[in-house]
Chains A and B, each alone.
Chain A
Amino acid sequence: MNRRYSASAVGITAVMAVCAAVVAFPRLGDDTGPYGLPAGRTTTLVDGGDLLGVSVTFYVDHLSAVMLLLAATVGLLVQVYSVAYLAGDARYRSYTTIIQLFLVAMATVVVADNLWLLVVGWEVMGLCSYLLISHHWELAPARAGAVKAFLLTRIGDLGLLVAVFAIGQTFGTYEISEVLTAMASPDAPEGLTAIGLLLVVAVIGKSAQFPLHTWLADAMPGPTPISALIHAATMVAAGVFLVARLYPVLAESAVTMTVLAVVACVTMLLAALLALTSGDLKRVLAWSTVSQLAYMFAALSVGGYDAGIDHLLSHGAFKALLFLVAGSVAHAIGSTALRDMGGLRVAMPLTFLTGTIGFAALAGVVPTVGFFSKDAVLESAWHAIGHDAPVAPLVAVVVLVVGLVTAAVTVVYSFRAWSMTFVGHGAPARASVAVHEAPPLMVGPLVVLAAATLLLSLAMPFDLLMGLVTTAIVVAAGWLAWRTMSAGRDPASLLGPAQPAFTRELDWDLGYAGAGVVARRAGDLVTATDRDVIGFYPRAAAATSVWLSRVLARAQSGNAQTYVTVLAAGALLTTLLVVVR
């Protein structure tokens, strides 16, 4: 049953990937940077009229091409991986269909010229994310996580909606290429802070940045390949893409960029610390994703446009790899909790090898792609100090410092997760069935992504000074982590008394729960108001009518003199009426 579907699923995805490649490769050379006149190609399919401003137009440039290739590659690999991972799953068919829908939506977002088209893709991605997170809808965490993911990203989406309104109002067009042209012209509009802040709200939701950061970790009950595709490589990175796409609009306002930088710094460190204390491999990876996305935003906020995009690409590769590794491990031992793991390097050598490459990239170890791209980010912050950057030098300093600290924390939690998963001995001893290497269809994508993690380095820039600094940090932090682990202590304990708070993820969810309670109370209030206040008047009117009706019927006593009394009194009163008037 599944085999037939799987062949077609992979086939269709492959065709889509090829199409994406055909579209993308010729445009890889259009790299004009953020401020240049749009160099990409604009294609119009349907023109939706002036009033609505919706048309089907495409704008493909270097940025789109990179994103397209990333999405297509990871998508195809995930489809292949899922054939084995979800073998025997009753809902495999809907699963693959939704993945394809997701890939179409992602492609729409990255190639859209019309902002409404982008919005459509943007939210369809959110829907697919929701549906795939709740793939195992029998499980309460999956249902809860899906709802949370949808609602929190929807907050951001509303920001995007209003941002698009504002762009339309300011620029008189909804075409991105025309907006960029307007920005590149000498008489570019000014006062774009509002638009910029609204866009920041949009990306905060989609990319799970502080303060809407919690949904991504809760999205982990979804199937692991989905985490790799949607919640690591593509959808969450769409926020970064959006900032990059409309970079001139955001960069026009220092306020916007400062806010973005602050959000990125807070998220970066916070998520890294949460990753350090998490007891679940997938949650560690999720928090690390949040943290790494913050790196990208940090880069963009200090003017490191290329660094941000490079880190997006490299992160897409190594985080997809890590999630697939986690999936492979979970597939083998049936759990994603770190305490259930350990010593898997023997049983799962290939997974171990590729996982090690992935963790190394996350930690920024030479010569993985993570090393280069993270250096680029930090270098752009360094460069922003004293040069003409979108933010004040002080902000750039903060970004640099926080980036370096986070790099150290990243090393520690990467080492912690890696060693708790693969080193020592635990899982094989505890597992009821023999743990063995994942099937070839799963290992294949791991190898491909591991190779990409190493080979993409060739395309990355290199800055010697920053490389030395970060390598020093990696060595020092790695040594610290190793010392702690070999002393038999969890590196999370390095946080000291703050550790329990981070383990509880700072109780951030209480806020959302509180909002939910408030909404439900308000709902009760509204229902009661409808019933007892608004509903009172018609009910009272009806009851009064019926009562009066009975009174009138009773007044028909049949007594002629009563009637004449009323008649005479009526004549008197009506006469008075005329006199008084």
Chain B
Amino acid sequence: GLYFPRKEYSENVYIDQAAGTPLLHIRALRDSHGEVAHFHLCQNLVISRARSHENHWFQIREKNGLLYLSKNLDREDFNMLSVGNWMSLSKVMLYVFLSSHPFQEKECDSATRATVYLSLINATAPACSSLTARQLCFTEMDLSFHIKENKPPGTFHQLQLPSIHHLCQNVSVSYKLLAAEGLPFQYNENTTGVSVTRRLDREERERYELIAKCTVREGFREMQVEVPFLVNVLDEDDSPPFLPNGTNTADAIVEYNRKEGTVLATLTVCDADTTPIYPLESSRKKYTGTIITNDPWINETFRVEHIFHEVHFSPNGSQVRGTLHEYKLVLNKSISVTEHRYFQLDVLVNDTEFPGPERSVMLHFNVSILPVSIQFPNVTYQFTVNRNAGRFAQIGKICIENCMKFYGVNITYKLLSPNVSCYAVGILQGREDKYGSLYVNDSSVLHRPECKEIQYTVQATDRQSRKHAKTLLTIVLEGSLLKNKEGCLDSCAVSKNRAECEECGGLGVLTGRCQWRQGSGKGITTNYSTCTPSIKTCPDGTCDVVESKDLAVCPQDCTSGNIIGGHGKGIGNLGIKSGHGICYCYPRRNCYCEKGDIKEQLCDDVC
């Protein structure tokens, strides 16, 4: 229906202004030809600070929208309207209603409404001679309008100020509208009305920046004032969806990545209309993407995810906003390794609010679900382990072919029946790990001379399909036993210097002795000095599945306790990501990072 070209209007009202003084000319624009605007004020006047009052002072002409004083505004009226208003400037608020037929009394809450803010100035209207050109030409209100696209032409603003025209008859005020060639706006010198001359197309241009130029002549004096005159074009759903590069088909291949939530393929649909991102759900519901199938398996196994974002088109130099819709074919559940099929999956994209027949576009996904095999790459594995290795020493990793590519496939690794007497090695697997980690489970077995070479069968099993594969694992023990040092602690991390570090072993050591990592760099650095069972795996910023078995193995990666001294904690507040100087830890208690050169005061009390 009819609509206002602005949401808000504002004007000043002065004490002692007489009844009949015109204040403001409000215009309306048509939604369809033949509509006739009827303006109306509802009964109440809202005084700021949410106080309302019967409106005895203002009226609007039903036919042409001229707001005027219907009663003299004397001192008593002014005080009545400013009660309880602590703002330095009193303001009252009126609602102007719009209808395409004459008003019945009760019709105040029609959807179309504009708000008028009237500032009550505690003084009489200034003499015309005292007004600046700016005040004679324009109010403080910015000249910014919005016009709906695809609507009939019409006049949407009058530049001349009714009150000035009424009060300052001997001042000549004339206007011009400065605009580039060919713009759909026209200015009428006689009525000073500005009108839009044809239907606008937002998809062609959504913003017009003109200039309102005013010339004031008083006697021999001539002054000019220019202010911006902006028109925003409001969008409506008048553009159908289309394929940006003509492609409505994509391949969706499922091989190693068979995990729920995996995006298999994406197709994009464009729309020249805007799509507000708020409220999100209603915009999503407006532009649907539905899988067209009656195969329950397909509905169970796939879903379509729709995201959209604003993009800019440049139809002819000016920039207008549009929308790029992305439809992603996503796995709705993990797919078994044994599953394999080939079919075309269709998705119907529907711009539900577009009136025309071309509101929908069909997308096609060529789905190929390939079978994958669970097998070990080579026949046997062999690792050598030093007889002096400590418990939780990490021997190596075992994993089936392409294991790092697998997602959504849960492979578990197990060591089967070694020759009974030398059972020294175990295998572990972190929640997110795709491989098995071999580690020394019982270091005392390594010391037994009869245990030279230990044979295991490793079995990898896919939890979902129960398919499994086996391979042979050989552990060769090497090296001669080192004499065990008395009184060594079980954690390398306790040592504060190289000598202390390398004199003992500890949990996780590979060759019977801890290793000193000499750091470098100033201040707090990731390359801090520390004593570790194995520089290769600790510290490496990850508290892996073997290290997490016992905090004493690698507290540098796994501690969640206090770290005293300059440091930065790792992800999830786990471990020492960076430290100052030397970092050492008392397992299951505090860790410390400090400069190594502060000599311990012997007489620490009396210094």
Do A and B belong to a common assembly?
A: no
Binding site for B on A (CB under 8 A): none
